[in-house]
Amino acid sequence: MRRPVERVPDADGTRSPFAAFGLSGTPGTDAFWAAAAPVPVPSGDGGWLTLFLWRGGPAVVAFESWPDPVPLVRWRDTDCWYAQVPLPARFRATYRFVVGDISCADPLNPVGMGGDRSVTATPDAPPQPHWPSVGADDVLPLPRTRIRWPAARLGGRRMVRVHPVGGGGPVVLLLDGDDWLYLHPAMAAFDAAVAAGDVPAVTLVFVPSRDRPAEFGCRPELWESVREELLPLVADSGVPADPDRLVVAGQSLGGLSALYAALEFPELVSRVACQSGSFWWTPGAMELPDPLGGPVGGTIAARLRERTAPAGLRIAFDLGEHETRMRPHCELVEELTRRSGATVRVSRSASHHDRAGWRHSLLRDVAWALG
């Protein structure tokens, strides 16, 4: 994404930089704030210029997939702070306002994710059916069934939530499960998708992580613990569940770990939904100044060159359209996996490296993996 644009008002002061966004009221007045919202307009180069507004004092707007926060500019002597941020075509992103050391959702945006995040999408971004809008004050429902997973190989006990959708069915392990519980309403989305007939009945298992680099970095301990501890607990929980048709869904490092599990634990994992897998990963890569600058495809590509994927592997790969540096790594792993004889599906989402962009592909690819 490009840097934000600050537009200067006319010299006579009769116009504000907000007129182009359809906000004609006097900035800073109650009437202005009653009509205010994050508004995108065409930028003239095929992309969009989005207006972000904050009422109060100095703040920045920070995007999950854009490392540099964008400072907001004050409009004259008012409580109105704003930024005009260029966004590319077909784009969806998570963002938040940062005031001092406090993060806040956008109070002008009804599409929130947790208490301190919001989601923006350009008008040409494809819809994400089944995902409800969650306001900053909303509390997401939690599955009733809880399991105490000893996870001794992973450094200690943790709580796992289990939710049967449509009466339950094949087990779907959602890696980074706490994000899908507390930030993005996966429970409600799967309920709606199954009710609409877009996803078969499944049993969701929200797998929490504590140390993502350690747990997801192509190490066997996680999957040994899943096989020997977690899945037997799910079977004994009283929730209908079919572990013989297990799907693992993971994003970023979780996507890396999901494919690793399918390659190294084929008796356990043969169906995978992988979004933006961190296939640049090699041992020690995360300590380098440029973790993505190593061998293309990393450890997974090297493994696929040495040995073909196990028979029966069915994997859906998804990547954000705007993840340019991830693309060579993912494309190589996708191709090597296909050449090895696996059944492969490849798609691209209207996003960068952002869970807001992975949401629709999560539902769609879990359904495809079970097809």
Tens place of pLDDT per residue across the chain (371 aa): 444 444 434 333 446 789 889 888 889 899 999 999 998 999 989 999 999 999 999 999 999 987 789 999 999 999 999 999 999 999 999 999 999 999 999 999 988 887 789 999 999 999 999 998 887 778 888 999 999 999 999 989 999 999 999 999 999 999 999 999 988 899 999 999 999 999 999 999 999 999 999 999 999 999 999 999 999 999 999 999 999 999 999 999 999 999 999 999 999 999 999 999 999 999 999 999 999 999 999 999 999 999 999 999 999 999 999 999 999 999 999 999 999 999 999 999 999 999 999 999 999 999 999 99
Q: Which is it for strands 343-349 and 48-55: parallel, antiparallel or unpaired?
A: unpaired
User: Does this model's pTM top 0.75?
Assistant: yes
Bridge partners of residue 316, in order along the sequence? 273, 345
DSSP 55-89: ESS--EEEETTEEEEEE-EE-TTSSEEEEEEEE-S
Where do the DSSP E strands lie in the chain?
A: 39-42, 48-55, 60-63, 66-71, 73-74, 80-87, 92-99, 102-104, 118-121, 145-149, 158-165, 169-175, 202-207, 241-251, 271-275, 314-320, 343-349
Rg (the chain; Cα; Å)? 22
End-to-end CA, the chain:
37
